[in-house]
C-alpha cells in the first residue's frame, strides 16, 4: 500500500495515498474538468473565435472585392465614354467645317468617315443605352443618305442628330461618373467597416481573453493562498473546520487531500490523546495503589499494636478485678476505628491494583460501589451526600474494568464540580443507580446541581469543549468517556435542564461486540 509520511509533534504519521483509500472516500469528490482540460477548452474557444473573425472578415472582404470589380468596370466605362465624347466632339467639329467648305462632296465624305469612326466606338455601349442605340441608328441612316446625295440639308440633319447624340452621351458620361463616385464611396465605407469590425472583434477578443485569464488566475492564486494558509494552520496545530472546497479540478483534489490529511491527523491525535489519558489514568491508579500499599505497610505495625492494646484493655475491662470496672473507657471503639483504618487502606490498594486491558467478567455493582467509595475521599465530596441504589439481580457483564472505572470517575467528578458551584445552603446530592435490563445493564449518575442549558448540552461531547475555567478541564473527559463506552458496545447519554440537575446514563451490553455470540 502506498503511503505518504508526515512529521507531527508525536513522531511520524503515514497517511494512505488516494489510490489506496476506500472507494467511499474517493466517491465524495465531484468529477469535473481538470486544469489541462480547461486549458484545451480555452484554446479551442480562442481558435473558434479566431475562425469566426476570419470568416466574418473574409465575407466582408469578398463584398469589398465585388465593389472593387464594379468600380473597375465603372472606371473603364467612364474612360470609354470620355473617349467616345472626345471622338464625337471631333466629328461634330469636322461636320461643322464641312458647311464652310466649297467642295461639299469631299467634305461630306470626310464627315461620313469621321461619323462612321465615332459610331464604331458606340458599339461597346449602345446595348446598355437604348436612346444612344436609336440615335446611332438614325445617324447611320443619315450617313447612307449623305453617301448617295450629299446636300446641306442632309448634312444639317446629321449635324443636329450628332449634336443630340453628344448631349445624350454627355448625360450617360455624367451618370457613369456619378456611379463611379458612388462605388468609390461604397468601397471606402466597406473598407472602414471591415477595418473597424476587425479591430472591434480583436479588441473584444483581447478583453475577453484578458478578463477570463485574469479572473481564472486570480481565483487560482486566491485558492492557492487559502490552501497554503490552511496547510500552515495544520502544521501549527489547527484541527478545526476543514477548508471549503470550491473547485473541482486538480487544485480541488489537492484541497480534498489536505482536508483528509487534517481529518486523519485529528483522528490520530485524538487516539494518541486517548491513549495518553488512559495511560495517565493507569499510572495514576498504580501510583495511588503503590502509595496505599506502602502506607498500609507502614501503619500496619502501629495499628497492630493499637489493636493488641485495645484488645487487652477490653479483656481487662470485662474482668471484675479491673480497677476501672464500670468506667466508660471504650476500648471497643478503639478496636473498631483501628479495623476501619485497615479496611480503608486495603480497599484503596485493592481498587488501584492494575487491571487487565481486555474484556473480562465483572461485577458491575462491586465496581460501582468501589469507585464511589474511592472518589468519596476527594475533598470535593466532603459536603456531598452520595447514595447508591444497586440492583441485586444485576448479572455479570464482560467489559474492560479499567475503562468503566475511568468513565465512572470522570462522571462523578463532573457531578461534584457542578455541585461545587452551588450555594452552601443547597443540599448537594449524587445518586448512583444500577439496573438490570433484558439485554444489558444501566448505570445512572444523577446530581441536583444547576443543570445545563440546551445549547451547552449539545456540545458537551465535543472534543476540547469545556465550561470549566482554564487549568481545571481539557474538554476531553466526556468525549473520551463516550468513546470508551461505545468501544464496549454501549451508549453514554446526558440529560439536563437548567435548575434541575443532570443525569448521565450508561447502557452496556452483557458482552462487548467483539465477543458477542
3-state secondary structure of 356: coil
140-181 pLDDT, tens digit per residue, is 777 777 777 777 777 777 778 878 878 888 888 888 888 888
> Is residue 184 within 8 Å of 71, Cβ to Cβ?
yes
State how far the Cα of 375 lies from the Cα of 129, in Å rounded to an integer.
127
- The phi and psi torsions of 492 (rounded to 5 degrees) equal -125, 120
If we measure between CA atoms, which residue out of 342, 370, 372 comes closest to residue 355?
370
State how far the Cα of 80 lies from the Cα of 27, in Å rounded to an integer.
82
Locate the domains of the chain by residue range. 54-195, 360-517
**Residue 431 pLDDT exceeds 70:** yes
2-25 pLDDT, tens digit per residue, is 444 444 434 444 444 444 443 334
State how far the Cα of 359 lies from the Cα of 492, in Å rounded to an integer.
18
118-132, 262-276, 375-389, range with greatest mean pLDDT: 375-389
pLDDT value, residue 340 = 65
- The phi and psi torsions of 274 (rounded to 5 degrees) equal -60, -45
**Residue 77 pLDDT exceeds 70:** yes
pLDDT value, residue 11 = 42
User: 307: burial class by Cβ within 10 Å (0-12, 13-18, 19+)?
Assistant: middle
CATH 1.20.120 fits 54-195, yes or no: yes
Task: Assign domain 360-517 to its CATH architecture.
Answer: 2-Layer Sandwich (3.30)
State how far the Cα of 109 lies from the Cα of 304, in Å rounded to an integer.
176
If we measure between CA atoms, which residue out of 212, 200, 201, 204 comes closest to residue 43?
212
**Residue 252 pLDDT exceeds 60:** yes
If we measure between CA atoms, which residue out of 385, 363, 400, 423 comes closest to residue 486?
400
Range with the poorest average pLDDT among 17-26, 92-101, 370-379: 17-26
> With pLDDT > 70 as the criterion, what percentage of the chain qualifies?
72
State how far the Cα of 183 lies from the Cα of 381, in Å rounded to an integer.
111
- The β-bridge partners of 443 are 434, 506
pLDDT class of 290 with cuts at 50, 70, 90: low
pLDDT value, residue 292 = 61
- Per-residue DSSP letter, 508: E
Range with the poorest average pLDDT among 264-268, 321-325, 477-481: 321-325
Q: How many CB atoms lie within 10 A of CB 503?
A: 18
Which cell numbers in the block locate residue 438? 433484558
State how far the Cα of 454 lies from the Cα of 502, in Å rounded to an integer.
12
pLDDT value, residue 103 = 67
pLDDT value, residue 9 = 38
Q: Strands 428-436, 384-389: parallel, antiparallel or unpaired by DSSP?
A: parallel
If we measure between CA atoms, which residue out of 124, 123, 116, 122 comes closest to residue 168?
122
More confident residue, 1 or 379: 379
pLDDT value, residue 121 = 73
pLDDT class of 281 with cuts at 50, 70, 90: low
> With pLDDT > 90 as the criterion, what percentage of the chain qualifies?
2
pLDDT value, residue 437 = 86
pLDDT value, residue 12 = 41
Range with the poorest average pLDDT among 68-72, 223-227, 356-360: 356-360
Q: How many CB atoms lie within 10 A of CB 247?
A: 18
Which cell numbers in the block locate residue 301? 505495625
Length of the chain equals: 517
Q: Which helix (H) or strand (E) holds 363?
A: none
Range with the poorest average pLDDT among 22-26, 239-243, 244-248, 305-309: 22-26
Q: Strands 11-16, 3-8: parallel, antiparallel or unpaired by DSSP?
A: antiparallel
Q: How many CB atoms lie within 10 A of CB 282?
A: 16
341-354 pLDDT, tens digit per residue, is 666 666 665 555 55
pLDDT value, residue 5 = 44
pTM of the model: 0.47
**Residue 491 pLDDT exceeds 50:** yes
180-236 pLDDT, tens digit per residue, is 888 888 888 888 888 888 888 888 888 988 888 888 888 888 888 888 888 888 888
pLDDT value, residue 358 = 78
**Residue 255 pLDDT exceeds 60:** yes
**Interacting residues of 188 by C-beta distance below 8 A, sequence separation 6+:** none
> Do 54-195 and 360-517 fold alike per CATH?
no
Mean of the per-residue pLDDT values of the chain? 76
State how far the Cα of 495 lies from the Cα of 76, in Å rounded to an integer.
106
Please state the rounded mean pLDDT for residues 317-326: 57
pLDDT class of 472 with cuts at 50, 70, 90: low
pLDDT class of 297 with cuts at 50, 70, 90: low
3-state helix, strand, coil in the chain (%, to 5): 65, 10, 25
Please state the rounded mean pLDDT for residues 468-491: 75
Amino acid at each position: 500500500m502506498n503511503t505518504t509520511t508526515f512529521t507531527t509533534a508525536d513522531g511520524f504519521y503515514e497517511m494512505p495515498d488516494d489510490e489506496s483509500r476506500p472507494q467511499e472516500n474517493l466517491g465524495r469528490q465531484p468529477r469535473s474538468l481538470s486544469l489541462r482540460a480547461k486549458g484545451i477548452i480555452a484554446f479551442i474557444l480562442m481558435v473558434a473565435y479566431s475562425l469566426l473573425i476570419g470568416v466574418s472578415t473574409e465575407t466582408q472582404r469578398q463584398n469589398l472585392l465585388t465593389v472593387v470589380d464594379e468600380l473597375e468596370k465603372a472606371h473603364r466605362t467612364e474612360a470609354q465614354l470620355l473617349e467616345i465624347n472626345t471622338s464625337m466632339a471631333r466629328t461634330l467639329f469636322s461636320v461643322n467645317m464641312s458647311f464652310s467648305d466649297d467642295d461639299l462632296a469631299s467634305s461630306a465624305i470626310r464627315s461620313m468617315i469621321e461619323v462612321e469612326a465615332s459610331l464604331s466606338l458606340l458599339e461597346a455601349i449602345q446595348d446598355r443605352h437604348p436612346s444612344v442605340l436609336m440615335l446611332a441608328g438614325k445617324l447611320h441612316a443619315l450617313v447612307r443618305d449623305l453617301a448617295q446625295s450629299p446636300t446641306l440639308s442632309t448634312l444639317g440633319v446629321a449635324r443636329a442628330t450628332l449634336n443630340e447624340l453628344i448631349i445624350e452621351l454627355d448625360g450617360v458620361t455624367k451618370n457613369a461618373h456619378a456611379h463611379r463616385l458612388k462605388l468609390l464611396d461604397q468601397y471606402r465605407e466597406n473598407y472602414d467597416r471591415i477595418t473597424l469590425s476587425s479591430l472591434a472583434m480583436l479588441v473584444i477578443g483581447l478583453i475577453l481573453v484578458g478578463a477570463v485569464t485574469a479572473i481564472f488566475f486570480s481565483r487560482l492564486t486566491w485558492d492557492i493562498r487559502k490552501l497554503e494558509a490552511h496547510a500552515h494552520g495544520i502544521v501549527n496545530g489547527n484541527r478545526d473546520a476543514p477548508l471549503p472546497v470550491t473547485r473541482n479540478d486538480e487544485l480541488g483534489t489537492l484541497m480534498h487531500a489536505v482536508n483528509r490529511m487534517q481529518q486523519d491527523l485529528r483522528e490520530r491525535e485524538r487516539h494518541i490523546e486517548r491513549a495518553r489519558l488512559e495511560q495517565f489514568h493507569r499510572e495514576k491508579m498504580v501510583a495511588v495503589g503503590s502509595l496505599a500499599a506502602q502506607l498500609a505497610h507502614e501503619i500496619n505495625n502501629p495499628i497492630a499494636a493499637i489493636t493488641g492494646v485495645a484488645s487487652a484493655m477490653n479483656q481487662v475491662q470485662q474482668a471484675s478485678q479491673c480497677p476501672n470496672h464500670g468506667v466508660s473507657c471504650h476500648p471497643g471503639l478503639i478496636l473498631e476505628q483501628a479495623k476501619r483504618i485497615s479496611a480503608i487502606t486495603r480497599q484503596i490498594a485493592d481498587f488501584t491494583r492494575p487491571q487487565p486491558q481486555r474484556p473480562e467478567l465483572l461485577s458491575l455493582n462491586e465496581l460501582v460501589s468501589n469507585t464511589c467509595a474511592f472518589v468519596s475521599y476527594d475533598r470535593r465530596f466532603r459536603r456531598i451526600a452520595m447514595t447508591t441504589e444497586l440492583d441485586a439481580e444485576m448479572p455479570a457483564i464482560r467489559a474492560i474494568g479499567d475503562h468503566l472505572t475511568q468513565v465512572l470517575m470522570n462522571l462523578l467528578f463532573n457531578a461534584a464540580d457542578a455541585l461545587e458551584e452551588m450555594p452552601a445552603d443547597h443540599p448537594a446530592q449524587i445518586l448512583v443507580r444500577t439496573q438490570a435490563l433484558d439485554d444489558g445493564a444501566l448505570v445512572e449518575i444523577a446530581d441536583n446541581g444547576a443543570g445545563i442549558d440546551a445549547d451547552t448540552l449539545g456540545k458537551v461531547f465535543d472534543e476540547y469543549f469545556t465550561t470549566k475555567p482554564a487549568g481545571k478541564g481539557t474538554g476531553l473527559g466526556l468525549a473520551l468517556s463516550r468513546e470508551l463506552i461505545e468501544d464496549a458496545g454501549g451508549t453514554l447519554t446526558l440529560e439536563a435542564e437548567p435548575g434541575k440537575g443532570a443525569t448521565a446514563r450508561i447502557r452496556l451490553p452483557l458482552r462487548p461486540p467483539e465477543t458477542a455470540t
